[in-house]
Amino acid sequence: MSVLVVGSIALDTVKTPVEEHADLLGGSASYAAVGASFFSPVKLVGIVGEDFPNEHIAYLKGRNIDLGGLQQVPGKTFRWSGEYMWDMNTRETRSVELNVFEHFTPTLPSAYVESPVVLLANIAPSLQSHVLDQMSRPQFVIADTMDLWINIARGDLEALLQRVDMLILNDSEARQFTQETSLIKAGAKIRTMGPKYVAIKKGEHGCLLFGDGEFFSCGAYPLEDIHDPTGAGDTFAGGLAGYLAARGNGSIGFSQLRHAVVFGSVLASFNVEAFSLERLRSLTQMDIEARYQAFHKMSQFEVLG
């Protein structure tokens, strides 16, 4: 099965305590689409300006990503600039230029409307709902969100949750959305709002997955060096969605989601090893499988009698 990914495509400038790089390929849809492409074909919907480099388009096409839904219009591409502090968890946004993204309205080509797995990457919930309005009964819908939409578009977000199978958000957003300090309570509360499954990302501490009376805690792969955390959550979501499309076989349940969370975490661990999507450019299926096996081995423990 294929994955439909809808979200932002950007040119990023990222500064860390030791490096700074400009005009990097970024945006939630870029990271998610490339992450998903390691497991399944991808259909991408987004918008860029006339300044968007051809090399980035060629790279996305080379990843078996269908760009029939990519709008290229007069004007400048969405640009974001951010700086990470020494802990690589704290980030400060230095500038945001929406440019052509400000008036983005996702329009699905006819070949996209029956996509079985849908990943609504981080855009306004009203636009995420607009995508679903154009679709014909997708099998599994995943939505990502952020603190901005919780603050300024809560009503739209709550309406969207009635239409999705899974919501992905991070730990601070889960607490903000539910006003619960306990992530266990927060995950359970979000499920009552509509989605059957909830994944709460905890950065370097892994991810929590909630289902109907089911719970799974996934750690994070230990890394000695992190060069750029940008897009890690989007890569996680893309890897998760791609794995589900590849392995769902017509039925997606908690068992498949557990494995999808692990593979999404593995993809995210590679992503942070270099700026932008550079590490994913050289990543192979053998690399992914080897890290998955190592991750699985280190997660096992002996029950003492």
d(CA 215, CA 28): 27
What is the per-residue burial (b if ≥16 Cβ within 10 Å, else e) of 194-230?
ebbbbbbbbbbebbbbbbeeeebebebbeeeebbbbb
Cα angle value 63/114/49 (rounded, 5°): 50
In a domain, 305, yes or no: no
Higher pLDDT: 285 or 304? It is 285
In a domain, 47, yes or no: yes
State the pLDDT at residue 301.
60
Provide the greatest CA pair distance for the chain. Answer: 68
pLDDT (tens digit per residue) in 23-63:
999 999 999 999 999 999 999 999 999 999 999 999 999 99
d(CA 96, CA 13): 10
CA distances from residue 161 to 80, 128, 154, 155, 275 in whole angstroms, order as listed: 28, 10, 11, 10, 33
pLDDT (tens digit per residue) in 208-218:
999 999 999 99
Q: Let me know: does 230 contact 11? Beta carbons within 8 Å.
A: no
State the pLDDT at residue 174.
97
Give the whole-number percent of the chain exceeding pLDDT 90.
87
The range of the structural domain enclosing residue 135 comes to 3-299
Number of structural domains, the chain? 1
CATH at 231 = 3.40.1190.20
In a domain, 105, yes or no: yes
State the pLDDT at residue 69.
97
Instruction: Please give the average per-residue pLDDT across 257-266, as a whole number.
Output: 94
In a domain, 226, yes or no: yes
In a domain, 75, yes or no: yes
User: How much is the mean pLDDT over the chain?
Assistant: 94
pLDDT (tens digit per residue) in 127-155:
999 999 999 989 999 999 999 999 999 99
pLDDT score of 250 more than 80: no
In a domain, 304, yes or no: no
